[in-house]
Chain A
Amino acid sequence: MFAVHLSVSTSIRSNMKLAALLLPLIFAACETLPKDQWGTFDRIKSTKEIRVGLIEEEPFVENVNGDPSGIEVELIKRFAESVGARPVWTHGSDERLMKSLEHFQLDLVAGGITDSTPWAKHVGITSPYRNKQVFAVAPGENELVRRLDDFTYAHKGEIEQMFADQGVSK
């Protein structure tokens, strides 16, 4: 609309200039957006604590003498480390944990959850880090989801190795 007085060629050129200016902006947006709706990731960084609910499910989450272990537990430990936080574990049934997650009393729930979980209506889920395995995240916390997705994507090979060590084949 603002190009009415310009000739066609200059308007195309000015559009290209505009695009050249916008592109870095778009890339910058991809780095910092999306943000959380409830500010969970910012809170994790400031309190240095990530509140994780664990549902027992081999080989993802195991509870050996009160000390959690398993592939997903290991993954969360590493993720927490990468953002300078430490995980605080809560054990419980999936219903209790998911309800807490829905009400932002937890940040994350793990334990062999798949992307077809019926809880996806009430809480957020990451994209699958391997086959159909996902983490459940507080609803609408898209930055935390993005950080987790980026983390698992960057460690794809290691995750595959962890499953191989557990004797789980593709």
Chain B
Amino acid sequence: MSLRGTTELPPDKAKLVEKSKHIEMWSFGAQVSIIAVLGLVMGSSQAMKTMWLEDMLSMIPTIAVLAGIYVSKWQPDEHFNYGYRRSVQIGFLAGAVALFGFGMFLFGDSIYVLLAGERPTIASVDLFGHRVWLGWLMIAALVYSSIPPMILGKLKRPVATELHDKAMYVSATIDKGDWLSGLAAVLGIFGIALGYWWADAAAGAFISFEIIRDGWKALKNSTFQLMDMRPTSVDEKEPDEVIKKVEKEIQTLGWVRDSSIRLREVGDTISGDAFVVPVNEDGLLQKLGEAGERIKSLDWRIQDFNFIPVSTLELGGNDGKQ
């Protein structure tokens, strides 16, 4: 059985996907090592506890991107006619719910610690025959944890934009939140050292606020994608320029009297349909086939586009127009 909508990338984009895979794999490795290092020195600091969870959860978009690259190679089959891409979106949604929920919990926890006036006590540890206050080790670990996301986030953003990979874009945004909150945690621990008991919990509250923001972004992004929102720019601020391109192209088709399109994003690719009212039925099958190819050649992201001839555009709904 042959099905439509198989994902074939142009060579330069395929190369970029390889690059994105490498960046996210480095990201994954860095995150695992950061979680291990922070876990070792976590102690009783509220900011550290929050950071540790944030780092755990910020692996979700990284895993989503990597899984997405892996799964996008699977071809549609007998049981899943539209391919497997959406499974990653479901995973991403679940991760977003976790991120958002944990953020809320940690925010509440930090506020509770602030209100209850709980004071963090940090003892010292033996390190290679020296007595070191664990707080200094926490600061070192936090600085270490801030560097990879700072670099990787910067690398991810342009690739995500070029590939129009929203999961990767979210992953880049979360990286930024990661190193920002890492520095906030450093200030929190330094505050403890100076004797300000509230500094730690305040940093914890700030970090959990960042987690809530990250979670909200990811939640919005994945929900919109699952709801087949019209394609938008990678930062979701504007409508995708592909929409205009497709509309213009259809207007150049002389045999089309009236048309209406619907588009949706499937991961980094776009699929959609055009309902067209033909002027007459002469050679319609050939015209439909040619038009489909023309639309697909407009942009590499349009992987699946169907022309559906209809006698009238009385479809119900508002065809994506407000």
* Cα–Cα distance between A124 and B120 once the two chains are bound (Å): 8
Centre residue among B120, B122, B123, B131 by max chain A CB count within 10 A: B123
- Residue contact B121 to A127, C-beta cutoff 8 Å: no
Beyond A33-B193, A34-B192, is A150–B131 a contact (Cβ under 8 Å)?
A: yes
User: Is there a chain B Cβ closer than 8 Å to A78's Cβ?
Assistant: no
| Neighbouring B residues of A146 by C-beta, 8 Å | 123-124, 133
User: Which of A39, A139, A153 is in CB contact (< 8 Å) with B121?
Assistant: A139
* Cα–Cα distance between A139 and B125 once the two chains are bound (Å): 18
Q: Which of B193-232 contact A (CB under 8 A)?
A: 193-197
Interface flags for B96-138 (1: CB within 8 Å of A; 0: not) read 0000000000000000000000111111111000011101100
Given A34-B135, A126-B123, A140-B120: 12 more A-B contacts, CB < 8 Å? A33-B133, A33-B194, A34-B193, A35-B195, A37-B119, A37-B192, A38-B119, A127-B125, A137-B121, A139-B121, A146-B133, A153-B124
* Cα–Cα distance between A120 and B118 once the two chains are bound (Å): 12
User: Is there a chain B Cβ closer than 8 Å to A29's Cβ?
Assistant: yes
Closest Cβ of chain B to A159, distance in Å, is: 14
Which 4 pairs across A and B sit closest by C-beta, in order of nearness? Answer: A140-B119, A124-B121, A35-B195, A127-B123
Interface flags for A27-63 (1: CB within 8 Å of B; 0: not) read 0011001111111000000000000000000000000
Count of interface residues, chain B, beta-carbon cutoff 8 Å: 21
| Neighbouring A residues of B197 by C-beta, 8 Å | 37, 140
* Cα–Cα distance between A127 and B120 once the two chains are bound (Å): 14
* Cα–Cα distance between A139 and B192 once the two chains are bound (Å): 12
- Residue contact B122 to A34, C-beta cutoff 8 Å: yes
User: Which of B132, B133, B196 is in CB contact (< 8 Å) with A37?
Assistant: B196
Closest Cβ of chain A to B109, distance in Å, is: 13
* Cα–Cα distance between A125 and B124 once the two chains are bound (Å): 10
| Neighbouring A residues of B118 by C-beta, 8 Å | 139
User: Is there a chain B Cβ closer than 8 Å to A74's Cβ?
Assistant: no
Beyond A35-B195, A142-B192, is A149–B122 a contact (Cβ under 8 Å)?
A: no
- Residue contact B195 to A37, C-beta cutoff 8 Å: yes
Closest Cβ of chain A to B76, distance in Å, is: 49
Closest Cβ of chain A to B131, distance in Å, is: 5
* Cα–Cα distance between A146 and B123 once the two chains are bound (Å): 6
User: Is there a chain B Cβ closer than 8 Å to A107's Cβ?
Assistant: no
- Residue contact A149 to B124, C-beta cutoff 8 Å: yes
Centre residue among B120, B121, B122, B131 by max chain A CB count within 10 A: B121
